[in-house]
Structure 1
Amino acid sequence: MGLFRSLFTAVFACVGSFLFGYDSGVITNVIAQEHFVSHFENPSAAAQGGIVSAYTGGAVLGCIVIFYVGDPLGRTRSIFVGSFVLLFGSALQTGCTTVAMLIAGRLIAGIAIGMLSSTNPVYCSEIAPVAWRGIMAGLQQWMLSWGFFAAQWIGYGSSYADSAFQWRFPLAFQCVPALILCLGILFQLESPRWLVQKGRLDKAKETLRKLHYDGHNDDFLELEYNEIQAQINLEKNLSAKSWKSLLGKASSRKRVYLACGIQLAGQLSGINVINYYGPRIYAALDIDTQTSLMIIGISGALSIVWCTIGLWLSESIGRVKPLIIACYGMACCLLINAVLSQTVVAAGTTNHNALRASVSMNFLISFFFTPLGINSWIYPAEIFNTETRARGNALATVTNWIFNLIFAQISPIALEAVGYRYFYAFMAFNIVTGTCFWIFYPETRGKTLEQMGELFGDEVIHVDATSSDEYKASSTGEKDISGGDLEKK
């Protein structure tokens, strides 16, 4: 019963992640629609970059907001505020009559998405049983994939309308899940770790029982609660109240570098350039707009399948090995795709076999990106301690959005200037990031959030595994129950 409640809570909170994917993906279709281009008098590449990057610029601001208000507000109230702001921004986009109005709506929606994308992985990791933490924190990427899927197919279906419905309906649709999240999150449980941090101990214990009780694990729940309380008390003097204080300790700095690095790797992979500007890329390959939207839609559907498999495997194969494979795999695909596409464009002819191979490489890039996409949200949310988790994860997510903003702004210009040769750079980036994962990133699978400090040389409170088979078994999903003692290490 407790596991079901935890999963339901995490999935519902990640409606915000669905909106993250939808609002990111919908603009690809909108700016390609004939009636959009006509209504806004054929906006230039720079204007299109501005429409896309206003959203990512707003997301940077949203992450900064969470850095300062995430801990005072708590996880559920942060999600409420984010969803409310998103509802307003979505409505403004739907009713826009000028490019400036659209950009304003995108900016406001971006602020909301920045808040949600920073909060959701933290919330999911804090309410999850240790054996399910990878799956539940990784729901951000899974729901994001569903959001992209919905945006792509709604955009494709709307393209058959011969009116402003082509682009206004895809923008309007996002108001519905935003309203559901805004109202429903008020009835969800707060993070038990945040409650302990704020001294609301009875409420924390009650919430932990609702989330993790399976009918006969009373001893385990007592041990889990005691470890959470003891570790948070130990960390009180580490609370990061500013950007500077977050970087004041060597172990904290290492966490920040790793968290920001994995988010940066997601942007350097090139996946968002393909997602944002797919129609433009396919147009360079002599593929018409509706066909390119259909291709992107099929790729989005498959990404859900890959993500589902990736979540299922996340607790069996760990975090780091899939990251290495993902980066090297994407590098190979980008190299092949760039060579194929450049050959077709240089020849000035339509080589159908080369075109098919090029499209298939984009499908493979999506496949290889899956472990990086999932773990870019899991890893930062689990390596920080409770006192620094909200702020540290916000800083990591800021990194994601800053580089998202940079590539969103320069990519249409770069694609016009150099075409598919632009992706040689992303091939090199993937080789570098894959090597960094191999050398610098410790494996985190199987440890509780409170035990994570062992990887960074921090003093931790942990359950003695010799006297607590149940706590040890929690990392494998077993249900043995026995007593245990807390000790400091």
Structure 2
Amino acid sequence: MYQIGNIYFITAIAVVGGGLFGFDISSMSAILGTNQYKCYFNQGPDGPPQCSGPRSSVQGGITAAMPGGSFLGALASGVLSDRFGRKKAIQVGAIIWCIGSIIVCASQNIGMLVVGRFINGLSVGICSAQVPVYVSELAPPSKRGRVVGSQQWAITWGILIMFYISYGCSYINGAAAFRVPWGLQMIPAIFLGFALFLTPESPRWLAKKDRWEECHNVLALVHAKGNRDAPFVLRELQEIKDMCEFERRNKDVSYFELFKPNMINRTHIGVFTQIWSQLTGMNVMMYYITYVFGMAGLTGNTNLVASSIQYVINVVMTIFALIFIDRWGRRWPLLIGGILMMTWMYANAGLLATYGSPAPPGGVDHVSEESWQISGPAAKAVIACTYLFVASYAPTWGPVSWIYPPELYPLRLRGKAVALTTSANWIFNFALSYFVPPAFVNIKWKTYIIFGVFLTAMTIHVFLCFPETAGKTLEEVEEIFLSDTKPWNTHVDFQRVVREEHGEIDPEKRLSYAHREREDSDGTGVGQHTNEIEKNEAA
């Protein structure tokens, strides 16, 4: 069967799995504010034409059902991926998504809606964990950040497309206003399931299964247009062989190995990358943006249009990461993004505390049982800070939280490790989805203070503990963790990797990048090894 060899086309297909998560976010955020949804799932005393919808705690449960399923799906994906392959695991996720979407589309009550969203979550958990693994194991080092970060871009496109579909359907009378978009979200999953038949399997997974001829063919197809004798292909193949030989001497591949002394540091970094990405509050902004803008006095269609601007910003600003992330690296985007988002969160808290006041009974635009309101120029400032928050997240924590974890682990553990880190993302997504509606009711503007504190803590944590992994092969990253290099002493060497991929540096005549950084950080042998490297590169 014909197989696609261009890494960008492969990525475009695979990251549709990430787009499924985006579809879910906006199908809920755009629909939960509509009168059709509120009246069909109404739990308040009001009736048509003005309904209050599910209680805030119940709406939190409806929203949280998807990340709850994603937590279990992400954990299961590690076993599924290691046994059947990265590609087949994603295809299973696509099938599960279609089943869940059918149930959601046909929901007759809140219970059925929760079950359907939970099944959808199983799919999202599998795809969100294994798509980054799949494309990171196929991509060359100089493009790895770009292609893995495309998952985040696919999520932003999924959010944007589904939001406008849901917005358009809001003009339909009756239950079709939400059943149509919930049914249409099956289309990308059907495309994903069939299109993956045209893409190759991960060469590193094939190597793990001793399918070396297929591994060599895939490396040649993706990295050298089919040339099996290309220097970079041969070097990559040899590094994979060396790593596999080392790993076969360490055969324990259970989840427990991730918590052994030699691996616990990497596990904590990967898990906290995903936890912090949730504790930024970004997905809260996505799910409940109509609540936030409702506090600022925006109602009805005005609220929905203002919310959609946030999704456009998210798509556009993510492009900068796709272009520059491999030059920027991983540490600096995480640090700068944390500082900027912290600023906007504290600003919103200050504005709401200073200029806001309790909402009248019934809340603002009936978005909750009780809420907070703000008006005038201060309300516009809240909206502006919300947009700036999204613009700060999109090129930093958004893509890097998916790029970083797959780069941290050796081959034998990568599938399970990324499954574990992604499950941390989803369990916190679950908790926050459930927590935020009651938080807006009970502690109001102080919700922003909580997220501001999280952002402060995560910025400090990144500086002290997160090493740079950009500009290195996955095998070189392994060397960094085996050395004593301090995180703040690790740097990006993007140009070196590009030259090496094009055969301008003979890999047999150079020291590894990790070894060079280890020498530099120790202050021993710097001049000797630097001169040796420069001479080899010049040759």
Query: TM-score, normalised to structure 1's length?
Result: 0.93
- For the residue of structure 1 that corresponds to 2:356, the secondary structure is helix
Post-superposition shift, 1:358?
Answer: 0.7
1:188-337 alignment to 2 at 5 Å?
188-214=199-225, 218-250=230-262, 252-337=263-348
The Cα offsets for residues 267-311 of structure 1, whole Å up to 9 and x where unpaired, read as 110111111111122222221032222122111111111101112
Could you report, residue by residue, the CA deviation over 1:400-424 in whole angstroms, capped at 9, with x for unpaired residues? 0111111111111111112222110
Q: SS of the counterpart of 2:310?
A: helix
**Alpha-carbon distance between aligned partners in 2 of 1:84 and 1:28, rounded to the nearest angstrom:** 24
Q: Find the residue that maps to 2:443 and give its secondary structure.
A: helix
Change (3 A) 1:472 1:338: closer
What amino acid sits opposite 2:32 in the alignment? I
Conserved? CA contact 2:266–2:409, under 8 Å = yes
Q: Paired residue for 1:393?
A: 418
- Structure 1 gap segments, 5+ residues each: 460-470
Deviation for aligned residue 1:86: 0.6
> 1: distance between equivalents of 2:440 and 2:506?
61
**Aligned-residue identity in percent:** 29
Q: Which residue of 2 aligns with 1:485?
A: 508
Q: Distance in 2 between matches of 1:412 and 1:44?
A: 9
CA pair 230-458 structure 1, distance change in 2 beyond 3 A: farther
Secondary structure of the residue aligned to 1:485 is helix
Tell me the distance in 1 between the aligned counterparts of 2:460 and 2:337: 11
Q: Secondary structure at the match of 2:444?
A: helix
CA offset at residue 155 of structure 1? 2.0
Distance 1:392 1:347, change over 3 A: closer
SS in 2 for 1:138: helix
More helix by share: 1
Return the alpha-carbon distance in structure 2 between the equivalents of residues 260 and 172 of structure 1.
Answer: 33
Q: Aligned residue for 2:93?
A: 82
Give a deviation string over 1:446-467, Cα, whole Å, max 9, x none. 11011111111179xxxxxxxx
Amino acid paired to 2:399: I
Shift of 1:161: 2.3
Q: 2: CA distance between counterparts of 1:47 and 1:166?
A: 21
Is 2:437 the partner of 1:404? Answer: no
Secondary structure, counterpart of 2:347 in structure 1: helix
Paired residue for 2:398? 373
Residue 184, structure 1, aligned to residue 195, structure 2: yes
CA distance in 2, matches of 1:243, 1:22: 31
8 A contact 2:159–2:311 mirrored in 1: yes
Instruction: Name whichever of 97-106 and 154-163 sits farther off.
Output: 154-163
Larger RCO: 1 or 2 (CA < 8 Å, sep 6+): 1
TM-score w.r.t. the length of structure 2 is: 0.84
Structure 1 range deviating more: 27-36 or 392-401: 27-36
> What CA distance in whole angstroms lies between the structure 1 residues aligned with 2:40 and 2:315?
33
Matched letter for residue 151 of structure 2: Q
Deviations along 1:212-231, whole A, 9 cap, x unmatched?
A: 11587712211111111111
Q: Secondary structure at the match of 2:173?
A: coil
Deviates further, 209-218 or 121-130: 209-218
**105, 111, 134: which one aligns with 1:123:** 134
1:149-164 to 2 correspondence within 5 Å?
149-164=160-175
| SS class of match (2:423) | helix
2:232·2:500 contact (CA, 8 Å) conserved in 1?
A: no
Larger deviation, residues 74-83 vs 233-242: 233-242
Residues 71/458 of structure 1: CA separation in 2 closer, same or farther (3 Å cut): farther
Structure 1 residues 260, 431: closer, same or farther in 2, change over 3 A? same
CA drift of 1:343 comes to 3.0
Superposed, which structure 2 residues align to 1:130-145 within 5 Å? 130-145=141-156
Distance 1:333 1:476, change over 3 A: farther
Match of 2:386 among 351, 354, 362: 362
2-structure distance, mates of 1:403, 1:434? 18
What is the aligned length?
A: 476
Distance 1:9 1:293 in 2: 34
What is the distance in 2 between the residues matched to 1:177 and 1:3? 19
Please say if 1:421 is aligned against 2:433: no
Q: Which region of structure 1 is more displaced relative to structure 2, 324-333 or 181-190?
A: 181-190
> Paired residue for 1:462?
none
After TM superposition, list the pairs within 5 Å mapping 1:465-484 onto structure 2. Answer: 473-475=496-498, 479-481=502-504, 483-484=506-507
Please give the alpha-carbon distance, in whole angstroms, between the structure 2 residues aligned to 1:477 and 1:161: 57
Return the offset for 1:340. Answer: 1.5
Aligned residue among 95, 98, 107 for 1:96: 107
SS in 2 for 1:474: helix
What is the DSSP-based 3-state SS (H/G/I as helix, E as strand, rest coil) of the residue aligned with 1:444? coil
> CA separation of 1:476/1:422 partners in 2, compared to 1, >3 Å: closer, same or farther?
farther
Distance 2:483 2:419 in 1: 21
The separation in 1 between residues aligned to 2:251 and 2:56, in whole angstroms, is 45
Q: Offset of 1:164 from its aligned partner?
A: 2.0
Displacement after TM superposition at 1:385 (Å):
0.9
The answer on whether the counterparts of 2:5 and 2:221 sit within 8 Å (CA) in structure 1 is no
Q: Structure 1 residue 327: deviation in Å?
A: 0.6
Question: Hey, what's the Cα distance between the residues in 1 that align with 2:501 and 2:213?
Answer: 27
**In 1, distance between residues paired with 2:498 and 2:505?**
15
Structure number with greater Rg is 2
Distance change (3 Å), C-alpha of 1:336 and 1:476: farther
Does the 8 Å contact 1:299/1:363 carry over to 2?
yes
Mean alpha-carbon deviation: is it higher for 345-354 or for 121-130? 345-354
Closer, same or farther: CA 428–477 of 1 in aligned 2, 3 Å: farther
The one-letter code sitting in structure 1 at the alignment partner of 2:6 is R
Most deviating of 104-113 and 420-429: 420-429
Partner of 2:491: none
Partner of 1:466: none
| Structure-2 change in CA distance of 1:156 and 1:207 (3 Å) | same
Asked if 1 retains the 8 angstrom alpha-carbon contact of 2:4 and 2:10, the reply is no
1:211 maps to a residue whose letter is V
Question: Aligned equivalents of 1:57 and 1:18: distance in 2?
Answer: 18
Distance 2:199 2:430 in 1: 32
Moved more, 427-436 or 65-74: 65-74
Contact 1:160 1:166 in 2 (8 A): yes
Q: Which amino acid aligns with 2:392?
A: F
**TM-superposed deviation, 1:484:** 4.0
